Amino acid sequence: MPDSGAKATIKVFSDIAHIDPGQWDACAGENSPFIRHAFLSILERSGSVGAKTGWRPCHLGLIAGDGTLLGCVPLYLKQHSYGEYVFDWGWAEAYEQAGGKYYPKLQAAVPFTPVGGPRLLLRPDAPSATDVRLADALVGVAERLGVSSLHVTFCTAEEQAVLQRAGYLARIGQQYHWENQGYAHFDDFLATLASRKRKAIRKERAGVDAAGVAIRTLRGHDIEARHWDAFYRFYLNTIDRKWAHAYLTRDFFRLLGEQLAEQVVLVLAETAGGVPVGGALNILGGDTLYGRYWGCEEQFRFLHFEACYYRAIDFAIAHGLRRVEAGAQGEHKVQRGYLPTLTYSAHWIADAGFRRAVERFLVEEQLAVAEAMREITAQSPYRCEGGS
């Protein structure tokens, strides 16, 4: 049992290497790989995260009198709004048009990773209200740095409630998840769909087979350097097509393969001659498979759906996983069994007038998100009770 939280002090760390991995992970828990010390360290060590990329680490820790880390937050000083997936470009434009300076801002998040999970990381035996102390400490850091705002993105619903009570504004979004209903085989999942949807998925899967593309699912140390070289090319191709910035370096993928090998699930598409032409990178955590990146060098009809969605479902069923999270955006996922799910974030705004404007926007946005989810859910491919 750590010392009383009453004696605890707040400290900001400019590098996650300055925090003991065991202590950080005692707060992060086992379920989400993205908030664990190893993953965040890989981002920093590979040069994917840092001052040069506009993600300056300033992780927050609450430290007991005996040196025990009671709680922590993955925190970054941002010079832009790239790589976040909870978009505030409109807020930045409005604030700067009014004469304010939106950047820098603080971001409590996992860089480039739209995956929900804890952001106020707590030891299981931490004193009560440690989460409240972290919420208040974040505001203290924001005020000390003089930033315009502080954003806690893809947090849990419970954390959002804590942050809202601490004066943050609540925001919701949506992404797409597939839920495993105890299926033994892919056909069991197909049996829950309307007949027309079952036929469409079977046609798509058959189309990939007919194109002569072989697909392998590699895990752990079966993923060799040549596979990572190929996937890095796919990643860069995708970035180029989207006119985006390639934050992740080749070193990121090397370190990921070395340090988190058993949590990496790589779906690789190859020609008959064994030449890699596309792939989907997934990360395994707890009871969930997280789809993260897709890329290809040649276009094959339906390959994206097969590699990203159907092979992920195959893996989840085979390993008894509860869900597959396919990430943000893309209503096309619904027809493939991935339904909309709420995501949560919380935002602290320094300027009172700007805060009121953002609060009004969020009320309207919440109504729009709720309506969009109703419309999308109505397009569900799952058959009604007693339907065909």
Same domain, 276 and 206: yes
Distance (Å) of CA 161 to CA 56, 58, 130, 174, 226:
27, 24, 14, 18, 46
Same domain, 124 and 231: no
331 found inside a domain = no
190: containing domain: 181-321
**In the chain, what is the straight-line distance between the N-terminal and C-terminal CA atoms, in Å?**
57
Same domain, 25 and 141: yes
Distance CA 177, CA 341 (A): 7
Same domain, 157 and 279: no
Same domain, 88 and 203: no
326 found inside a domain = no
125 found inside a domain = yes
332 found inside a domain = no
Mind listing the pLDDT tens digit for each residue in 309-323? 999 999 999 999 999
Mind listing the pLDDT tens digit for each residue in 207-221? 998 988 999 999 988
134 found inside a domain = yes
Q: What is the CATH number of the domain that holds 264?
A: 3.40.630.30
333 found inside a domain = no
Please say whether the beta carbons of 192 and 330 come within 8 A: no
Q: How many domains is the chain built from?
A: 2
Same domain, 306 and 348: no
Same domain, 150 and 112: yes
* Block mean pLDDT (10 aa), the chain, length 388: 73 98 97 96 97 96 97 97 95 97 98 96 97 98 98 98 98 96 98 96 94 93 94 88 79 96 95 91 96 89 95 98 87 93 97 98 97 92 66
Same domain, 170 and 195: no
Same domain, 99 and 239: no
Same domain, 171 and 189: no
- pTM metric for this prediction: 0.94
